Amino acid sequence: MYFASFCNQKINVFMRFFNGLNSVFLRSIKFITMKKITSKITIFFLFTIFALSFSGCGYNTLVSLQEKVNSAWSQVENQYQRRADLIPNLVKTVEGSADFEKSVLTEVTEMRSRVGQTKITAEDLNDPDKFAKYQKAQDQLSSSLSRLLVVAENYPQIKSNENFLQLQSQLEGTENRIAVERKKFNEAVQEYNTTVRSFPTLIMAKIFGFKEKQYFKGKEGSDQAPDVKFDFKNNDKDQKK
C-alpha cells in the first residue's frame, strides 16, 4: 500500500510537471504564431502607407503624364516620317523638267538627309541641345519644301502633272497634321512640366529622376503650314495673253 501510494505521488508530480511544460510550450507556440501574424500585418501596413505616399505625392501622376508625352511624341514622329516618305517621289516628279532649278532640288534632298541623321528618341526629350537640333533640321526641311513648291508654280508642265498635284495635296495635308500634332505635344509637355515643378510632386520628381521636357518653340510663321496652293486661274489667264 505504501509503495502504491508512493508511485501515485510520483505519477501525479510527473503529470503536473508534464502539464506545466505542455502549457509553456503551447503559450510559446501561440506567442510565435501571434508574432508572425503581427509581423505580416505590420509589413502589409507599411507597404500600404508606402504605396499611398507614392500616390499622394504624385508618382503615379508623373508616370501617367510622362506616358502621355511619349504618346504625343510618337504621333509627331509619325507625321514627320510621312512627310519624309513623300519627298523622294516629289523630287522625281519635278526633276524631269530639264530647266527646273536644280539648286532647289539639291537643297530639299540635303535637308531630308540631314533630318534622317538628326533623329531623337523619347528619352532625349529632356535634352535641350538634341531637341533644338532636331527642330532646326525639321524646320529647315519645311522651308525647303515650301520654296520648291513655290518655284514649281512657274513651270506649267509640272503643275499639270497629275502625280505632282497628288503629292502637293498630300504634303499640304501632312504639314497641317504636323502642326496639329506639335501643338498636342506641346500641351502634353506643358502639363507634365507644370506637375514636375509643383509641390509636393517635385519631391518625387527629384527622387526618381523625372526631368522637365523640351517643347517646340515657334519662330515667326513656323506655326503655319507652307502655302502650297497654286493660282491656276491667274496662270491660265497669263498663258492666254
How far is residue 205's CA from residue 241's CA, in Å, rounded to a whole number?
A: 69
Please say which residue of 56, 82, 97 terminates a domain: 56
Residue 63 has a pLDDT of 94
* Cell representation of residue 82: 510621312
Of 117, 179, 88, the residue nearest 142 (C-alpha)? 179
Quote the CA–CA distance of 199 and 213 in Å, as a whole number: 18
Q: Indicate whether 160 and 51 sit together in one domain.
A: no
Reading the block at residue 50, the C-alpha cell is: 508606402
* Domain of 46, in residue numbers: 1-56
Judge whether residue 26 has pLDDT over 90: no
Task: Write down the pLDDT at residue 235.
Answer: 41
What band does 230 get if pLDDT is binned at 50, 70 and 90?
Answer: very low
Residues 122 and 23 in one domain: no
pTM: 0.69
- In this model, does residue 237 exceed pLDDT 90? no
Q: Following DSSP, what letter does each residue of 82-111 receive, concatenated?
A: HHHHHHHHHHHHHTTSTTS-HHHHHHHHHH
Q: What is the pLDDT of residue 190?
A: 97
Burial code (b: 16+ CB inside 10 Å, e: under 16) for 222-241 equals eeebbebebeeeeeeeeeee
Counting the structural domains of the chain, the total is: 2
pLDDT at 200 over 90: no
Q: Please indicate, yes or no, whether residues 110 and 170 belong to a single structural domain of this protein.
A: yes
Specify whether 194 is located in the same domain as 214: yes
* Sign of the four-CA dihedral 213, 217, 223, 225: negative
CB atoms within 10 A of CB 161: 18
Same domain, 1 and 46: yes
Is the bond leading into 156 cis (omega within 30 degrees of zero)? no
Same domain for 64 and 44? no
